[in-house]
Amino acid sequence: MGASFQSVLINTESTSHLCKNLKYGFNYRLGISLGKSLLGPYLQSFCERVNKNPVLIPVPVSRKRKKMRGYNQSEKLSQGCLQFILAQGFHATIVNLLKKVLHKRSQVEYGTFTRWTNPTGSMEVRKKIKQRIPENALLVLIDDTVTTGSTLIHASEIIREHFPNHSILILALALEV
């Protein structure tokens, strides 16, 4: 099974402002709204093409970051996306399959080369939750912003190790160019 990647926005100045407000502006409602209005319609179209029901997997953040921000922005995007998808008649769920096991400095603080290796070893699959994944589900890894893609590549590799026969969609709100 393969993996696909899609971002719904290119990181323009206004997109950058949205993403910063979502991540650092204590505005979790924005995440739900963006997930519902932007990620949801794309996911609906993708699910109709592949004829599979999605399992949404938010990219985890460390407990320290979640406490500082009050929420995980990828979870909020996933919640909005789920609301949209369920309203379209799909069977879908959010599963916090991945967990952060190492708190590392923010990717924003690193150059391109270091960003590629920084996520290595920072997350793993929650083994008890692994059984909740249906056999024929589309696994949808959701994140807010993609800079180098290293976090999403690392996360998708971990998922692929445990679910070699599942299709994976990596879905991001914005892609920095």
Distance, in Å, from the CA atom of 112 to the CA atom of 176, rounded to the nearest integer, reads 12
What single letter denotes the amino acid at residue 41? P
Domain chopping of the chain, boundaries: 3-175
pTM summary value? 0.89
In tens, the pLDDT along 150-167 reads 889 999 999 999 999 999
In tens, the pLDDT along 1-35 reads 667 888 899 888 999 989 999 999 999 999 999 99
Helices (H), the chain: 13-24, 28-34, 40-50, 63-69, 73-87, 112-117, 150-162
Sign, CA torsion 164/169/173/177: positive
Instruction: Pick one of 2.40.30, 3.30.70, 3.40.50, 1.10.10 as the CATH number of 3-175.
Output: 3.40.50
In tens, the pLDDT along 66-102 reads 999 999 999 999 999 999 999 999 999 999 999 998 7
90: exposed, middle or buried (Cβ count in 10 Å: 0-12, 13-18, 19+): middle
Task: Name the 3-class secondary structure at 126.
Answer: coil
